[in-house]
Amino acid sequence: MNEKFYALPEEKQSQILNAAYKVFATNQYKKAPTSEIAAEAGISKSLLFHYFHNKRELYLFLWKYAADLTKKYMCKYKVSGNDKSLGTGLWKGDGK
């Protein structure tokens, strides 16, 4: 899945992903026009569907991509329970 998308240069991939995040962030899923995503990314709508078969596949790709990034940075910046510099008290729900 998405071999054609991964074959793109990283800069182009980022353009498409950022455009999709922007449009989905400002619209509900059903009201997010793929034509707007394509225009924002500087590509045609048909080219967008060349990389992602449909809007659902693109949306799920974005969710997985965001989850993977979050996981990567959570593992990279693990915080010990004694590190007050990152506000670990908020994780416990005590607001301190």
3-class DSSP state for residue 55? helix
More confident residue, 71 or 23: 23
Please give the pLDDT value at position 68: 92
pLDDT of residue 16 exceeding 60, the answer is: yes
Quickly state the pLDDT bin for 77 (edges 50, 70, 90): confident
Question: What region does 95 belong to: left with phi over 0, alpha with psi -120 to 50, or beta?
Answer: left
The mean per-residue pLDDT over the stretch 78-83 comes to 54
Q: What is the mean pLDDT of residues 67-74?
A: 89
pTM exceeds cut of 0.85: no
